[in-house]
Amino acid sequence: MTKPLRFALLGTGFWARFQLAGWIEAGGVACVALYNRTVSKAEALAAEFGVPRVYGSVEELLDSEQLDFVDICTAVELHAEQTLMAAQRGLPVVCQKPMATTLEEAERMVKGCRDAGVPLFINENFRWQHPIRQFKRILDEGRIGRPFRARIDFRSSFPVFDNQPFLKDLEQFMLTDVGSHILDVARFLFGEATTLYAHTTRIHPDIKGEDVATVMMTMGDGVTVVCEMSYATRREHDCFPETFIEVEGDRGFLELGPHQWIRETTEAGTLARRFVPPRYPWADPAYDQVHASIVPAQADFVRAFQTGTQAETNGADNLKTVRLVFGSYESASTGQVLGVDKLQPPGW
What is the tens place of the pLDDT at every residue in 163-188? 889 899 989 999 999 999 999 999 99
pLDDT category at 1 given cuts 50, 70, 90 is: low
The residue segments making up the domain with residue 111 are 5-123+296-313
Query: How confident is the model at residue 27, as a pLDDT?
Result: 97
Hey, which bits of the chain come out as E strands? 5-10, 29-35, 53-55, 69-72, 93-96, 120-123, 147-155, 193-201, 212-219, 223-230, 244-249, 252-257, 261-266, 269-274, 338-339
269 shares a domain with 191? yes
Is pLDDT of 57 > 80? yes
**Residue-averaged pLDDT of the chain:** 96
Kindly give the pairing relationship between strand 269-274 and strand 193-201.
unpaired
Do 236 and 134 reside in the same domain of the chain?
yes
Q: Looking at the structure, tell me whether residues 242 and 261 fall in a common domain.
A: yes
Query: Is 185 in the same domain as 96?
Result: no
Task: Answer yes or no: do 63 and 134 share one domain.
Answer: no
- The pTM of this model reads 0.95
pLDDT at 89 over 80: yes
Of the candidates 260, 264, 318, 333, the one whose C-alpha atom is nearest the C-alpha of residue 290 is 260
Tell me, what CATH number does 38's domain have?
3.40.50.720
Q: How many domains does the chain have?
A: 2
Residues across the chain: 348
Cα dihedral 225, 230, 236, 241 in deg (nearest 10): 90
Where does the pLDDT of residue 346 fall: very low under 50, low under 70, confident under 90, or very high at 90 and above? low
Residue 186 near residue 228, CB atoms below 8 Å: no
